[in-house]
Amino acid sequence: MSHVLAVDLGSSGLKVAVVDRGGRVVGAAGAPLATRFLAGGGAEQDAHGWWHALGECSRQALAGAGVPGSAVEAVSVTAQYMSIVAVDRRGLPLAPVVMWMDRRGAPHRRGLRDPHAAAVLLERHGLPPMPTDDQAHIAFLRAEHPAVHEAAAAFVEPADHLTARLTGRITATQTTAFPLMTVDNRTRGATAHDPDLVALAGVDPAKLPPLVPDDEIVGCVTPEAAEHLGISTSAIVVPGTIDSITSAVGAGVLDPSACAVIVGTTTVIVTHVDAKAADLDHGLISVPSPLPGRYFVMAENGVGGKALDVFLRQVVYADDALALGPFPGDAFERAEAAAATVAPGSDGVLFLPWFVGSMAPGGDRAVRAGFVNLGLSTTRAAMTRAVYEGVALNAAWLLPHVAAFADATWTSVRFGGGGARSDLWAQTLADATGVDVDQLADPGSTNARGAALLALVRLGHLALDDIPALVPVRRRWGPDPERNTLYRRALERFVDFHERSRPFYAALNGRTSHA
Is 206 part of a structural domain of the chain?
yes
- How far is Cα 181 from Cα 139, in angstroms, rounded to an integer? 13
The residue among 312, 277, 503 whose CA lies nearest residue 402 is: 277
Structural contact between residues 372 and 348, judged by C-beta atoms closer than 8 angstroms: no
Cis peptide bond upstream of 210, omega within 30:
no
For residues 402 and 318, membership in a common domain is answered with yes
User: What is the domain-level CATH number for residue 70?
Assistant: 3.30.420.40
For residues 207 and 356, membership in a common domain is answered with no
For residues 363 and 449, membership in a common domain is answered with yes
Q: What domain count does the chain have?
A: 2
Per this entry, what is the length of the chain?
A: 515
For residues 233 and 301, membership in a common domain is answered with no
Q: Which residues of the chain have pLDDT under 50?
A: 512-515
- How far is Cα 70 from Cα 376, in angstroms, rounded to an integer? 61
- How far is Cα 209 from Cα 173, in angstroms, rounded to an integer? 9
Is 19 part of a structural domain of the chain?
yes
pLDDT for 513:
40
For residues 272 and 408, membership in a common domain is answered with yes
- How far is Cα 287 from Cα 80, in angstroms, rounded to an integer? 15
Give tens-digit pLDDT for 119-147.
Answer: 999 999 998 899 999 999 999 999 999 99
Helical pair 331-339 and 423-433, crossing angle rounded to 10 deg: 40
Q: What is the pTM of this model?
A: 0.92
pLDDT for 514:
39
Domain boundary, last residue among 208, 239, 270? 239
For residues 289 and 221, membership in a common domain is answered with no
The residue among 264, 62, 267, 47 whose CA lies nearest residue 159 is: 47
Q: Which domain holds residue 355?
A: 252-509
Across 145-156, b (16+ Cβ under 10 Å) vs e yields beeebeebbbbb
- How far is Cα 474 from Cα 472, in angstroms, rounded to an integer? 6
For residues 173 and 257, membership in a common domain is answered with no
Is 515 part of a structural domain of the chain?
no
Nearest-10 Cα torsion for 102, 177, 155, 123: -70
Q: How many CA atoms lie within 13 A of 135 on its CB side?
A: 26
- How far is Cα 272 from Cα 255, in angstroms, rounded to an integer? 4
- H helices of 407-445, in order, are 423-433
Is 247 part of a structural domain of the chain?
no
The residue among 452, 480, 501, 244 whose CA lies nearest residue 352 is: 501
- How far is Cα 10 from Cα 499, in angstroms, rounded to an integer? 31
For residues 200 and 286, membership in a common domain is answered with no
Domain boundary, last residue among 187, 218, 239? 239
For residues 197 and 313, membership in a common domain is answered with no
Domain boundary, last residue among 173, 205, 239? 239
Distance set, CA 140 to CA 106, 118, 203 (Å)? 8, 20, 12
Structural contact between residues 44 and 36, judged by C-beta atoms closer than 8 angstroms: yes
The residue among 399, 394, 391 whose CA lies nearest residue 424 is: 391
Task: State which H helix or E strand residue 173 sits in.
Answer: none
Structural contact between residues 200 and 120, judged by C-beta atoms closer than 8 angstroms: yes
For residues 102 and 221, membership in a common domain is answered with yes
Distance set, CA 93 to CA 26, 48, 81, 482 (Å)? 31, 7, 16, 53
For residues 286 and 261, membership in a common domain is answered with yes
The residue among 103, 76, 99 whose CA lies nearest residue 6 is: 76
For residues 265 and 160, membership in a common domain is answered with no
pLDDT for 1:
61
Please count the other Cβ atoms lying within 10 Å of the Cβ belonging to residue 222. Answer: 18
pLDDT for 248:
97
Q: What is the side-by-side order of every strand in the sheet holding 42-45? A: 36-38, 42-45, 97-98
What does the DSSP 8-state code read for residue 408? Answer: -
Backbone angles phi, psi at 498, to 5 degrees: -55, -50
Describe the chain by its helix, strand, coil percentages, rounded to 5: 40, 20, 40
Amino acid at 156: V
